[in-house]
Structure 1
Amino acid sequence: MSGSRGLVVVVEDDAPIADVERLYLVDAGFTVHVSRDGLDGLAAIRSFAPVAAVVDVGLPGIDGVELCRRLRAEDDWTPIVFATARDSEVDRVLGIELGGDDYVTKPFSARELAARVGALVRRSQLGQRATVLELGGLRLDTRARTVATPDGPVALTATEFDLLAFLVSSPGQVFGRAQLLAAVWGAADYRGTRTVDVHVAQLRGKLGPHLDLRTVRGVGYAAGAP
């Protein structure tokens, strides 16, 4: 029977870890499809259009980063949580820059992973009625989760969109990095503020001159003029 919260694709070659992830995600209300290698996982995400995917970085076939890169190149923005044994900021930042939405570092709590996936899915499904936010040349539709600029639409990851919408919804207000972590990621105690900086850099790279996003030195960020 299908879980009421939708399907999650787990791409993990370690069978015991995959089984634990599946059990906790099912307990959280999701249906789960498990793939054992990167190519099979890529095909599953393309075929099933899941509400989210949990992707190990070190996979046979193609690794998790390449899987994510191929999806984003196809304009597929399925929310992705990376699971990685590479406990270095370089690997975490690389995953984010290539379109990942969140990450957990092994060994991790399967309960925490399920909570992260749940939070990511909730954010990506927010907006039961159309809400349009505008700032300068940007136009955000929070129901359709689209961003338009005078040059045309721009594709964002789920987390990039959430961060942008949060800032644009309070134009001129300065938010500290810890505030943004708590508001957008749902917690501020398990990752460094570098995560926020990387996502801001990604937004600036994608939206260019259409994004009026100020850096307030020693404090954080604000969208629009003070």
Structure 2
Amino acid sequence: MAPWRLPVSFLVLIAWPSGLQAQHVRLERCEPAVIQSGVPTEVRLHGGGLEGVVLWTSFPAEIERIAEGEPLFRISTDHLGPGALRVHSDNGVSNLVYLRVRDGEESLVASLGKTKASEAQEIEVPIKVEGSSQNLGAHFFRFGARKGELVTLRAEARGSDFDGVLTVRTESGRRLAQADDSQIDGLNPRIDFAAPEKGSYIVELMDSEYRGGKGYQLWLEEPQQNGDTAAGLVEPPLNPG
């Protein structure tokens, strides 16, 4: 055997350790990408190698890890304007992803990706939720309302071709309202809902083609008082025939 030729098995042994290296730490995006100044906001990170990472912000902020097993944090800041996030761990330092801190009254949270109605994410009106659609499934949210309370629910794509289907159900699963488009918002689903009784209601949001990873925005808010909204109010019967 020529002295410069190495057995294939030896070459494999030389290359093998690189395959054992930890996954490179990287960020793809954060949800939501806009947070509110002065209001603690849950932010979910997406990317790779995010196990056990520490979150860094380019602006003064208080950071709390919400879940040990997933990259979900709560950020509190008085900063206003653009900013950036980065994470680091023993496996390295990530790239930057950008977000904006704004002033306003609207609460903004990240979808927790709850795929069962029994485990629906608790939210309060008014609120804006940012997330990515579930593959072959839906995300579920729960909100409370007084009898006769009016709530507008609407969903839009967020940097994607998400085509939403929005459904409101009772806690027992009975469908009260559903929309996959609206006269007001064009191709975006919208429901102007009047709670038939005091209690909790389940919101189900999914892509019409059951595609996963499609960015969405979901709003629950008090309806604007105008003729179009009043005409479109959904008042489901308590005992439908």
Give the TM-score, by structure 2 length: 0.27
TM-score, normalised on structure 1? Answer: 0.29
Higher strand share: 2
Greater RCO (Cα-Cα under 8 Å, separation 6 or more): 2
Q: Which structure dedicates a bigger proportion of its chain to helix? A: 1
Structure number with larger C-alpha Rg: 2
